[in-house]
Amino acid sequence: MAHNDLAPLRHDIAQACRVAAARGLVDGILGHISARVDDEHLLIRCRSDSDDGVAFTRSDDIRLIRFDGTPGMPGELDGYRVPNELPIHVETLLAHPEHRAVAHLHPPAVVAADLAGITLEPIYGAFDIPGAWLARRGIPVYPRAVLIRTAELGKEMVAAMRGMPVVICRGHGITSAAATAAQAVLQAISLNQLASMSLRIRSAGGTCTPIDEADWADLPDLGPSFTADAVWRHELARLEWR
Residues serving a catalytic function are 85
Q: Coil, strand or helix: which one is 104?
A: strand
Amino acid at 32: H
Q: Report whether 104 contacts 72 (CB < 8 A).
A: no
Q: Report whether 42 contacts 53 (CB < 8 A).
A: no
Amino acid at 80: Y
Taking the C-alpha atoms of residue 192 and residue 146, their distance in angstroms, rounded to an integer, is 21
Helix (H) or strand (E) holding 142: strand 141-142
Taking the C-alpha atoms of residue 55 and residue 60, their distance in angstroms, rounded to an integer, is 14
Which are the contacts of 45, defined by CB distance < 8 A and separation ≥ 6?
A: 13, 14, 17, 32, 33, 34, 54, 57, 61, 62, 83
Taking the C-alpha atoms of residue 132 and residue 72, their distance in angstroms, rounded to an integer, is 39
Helix (H) or strand (E) holding 207: none
Q: Report whether 176 contacts 187 (CB < 8 A).
A: yes
